[in-house]
Amino acid sequence: MKPKVAIGSRLSHCKEVITLGVKPNFYDYTPWEQRLIHEAEIIYYPTSFYADLFNTIGKPTFPSYECYKYACDKIKQTALFDLLGIPHPRTRIFYGDRQKREILNHFSYPFIAKVPRGSALGEGVYLIKNEDDLLAYNKITKVAYIQEYLEIDRDIRVIVIKDKVVLAYWRIKKEGEYRCNISYGAEISLDNVPKGAIELALKLCKLCNLDDVGIDMCFYNGKFYVFEINIKYGREGFKKAGIDYKELLADMLRRGEL
């Protein structure tokens, strides 16, 4: 049996996996390590750097290439949701100062503005309540990502690994906060996550070939809305549910599910 090979460290605790680490110069891998990469049937956690390269040469990876393709790029995610008809808060992208002057022709205060690429954990998300807020936001990004503000007190995170929902929970906002992120004081609740949220998450993953993601969504005015896809999701929900995340991955690997 060929050895299982990983680049990133998420399976480094598994004795069944050889974790090589990220080396941006491929020739820095030893000849033996290079041979392992070439001969492996699948590369685990290739990182965003190698995901593109392995996809080009037809080398399967876990997570899938699509997970890395859309991670941390809210613009691509929004376009994907629109293309597939996935319910998503009304969102519009404005490029450069000329287009930014049109923002108030499409949105009324308050609305949400985000840094469109590279932000996570609630960073780069702003509640725009007035002209001063908008001016300050426009100074920090050339591309404005503007989204309608849905007045909710909680959202839902659904974590899908391969074709299974391994965890789903509510994130309940801290009083006075507009973000549902745990890093901004939100509380986790495992109670009664709607079946519709589970079904929507699985549908999205199947349509987009996503196999290791945390999907954030909400239920608003009788309808589910997907906010975004995260490949780097937090572990707090697993701790709350009493699930050892590392053992979960190891068990799935041993059962041949990864």
pLDDT tens, residue by residue, 168-224: 999 999 999 999 999 899 999 999 999 999 999 999 999 999 999 999 999 999 999
Instruction: State the Rg of the chain over Cα.
Output: 20
Q: Which class would CATH give 90-148? A: alpha beta
What percent of the chain has pLDDT above 70?
98
CA distance 11 to 16: 9
State residue 103's pLDDT score.
Answer: 98
Domain boundary assignment for the chain: 4-62, 90-148, 152-254
pLDDT tens, residue by residue, 205-218: 999 999 999 999 99
Residue segments in the chain with a per-residue pLDDT below the cut of 70:
118-122
Cβ count near 40 (within 10 Å): 19
Answer yes or no: same fold for 90-148 and 152-254.
no
Average pLDDT of the chain to the nearest whole number: 95
Superfamily of domain 152-254 in the CATH hierarchy? ATP-grasp fold, B domain (3.30.470.20)
